[in-house]
Amino acid sequence: MKKALVKAELNVKDKLVGVLRVGNVDYISLTDIAKYKNEDSPADVINKWMTNKDSFDFYSLW
């Protein structure tokens, strides 16, 4: 069974953040959120999130 894809954008603090709905699950673009902190290199922001000790503890539980 094919799941429906719905794309949308939210305006958050004058920045557009992409949202993708697959079936009944919503996914928010981390890259778009990271652009709020560093528009030129959002990958650096995401890398810091991923290596943060608290984030790592969360991944371990997940």
* Mean pLDDT, the chain cut into blocks of 10 residues (62 residues total): 79 91 90 91 90 77 67
Using a 10 angstrom Cβ sphere, with 0-12 exposed, 13-18 middle and 19 or more buried, the burial of residue 3 is: exposed
Supply the range of the domain harboring residue 41: 5-61
pLDDT value of residue 2: 65
**What's the structural domain count of the chain?**
1
Structure tokens at 45: 């922001």
Distance, in Å, from the CA atom of 6 to the CA atom of 19, rounded to the nearest integer, reads 8
pLDDT value of residue 19: 94
For the chain, strand residue ranges (E) read 5-12, 15-22, 25-28
Q: Does the model's pTM come out above 0.95?
A: no
Closest CA to 33 of 52, 56, 16: 16
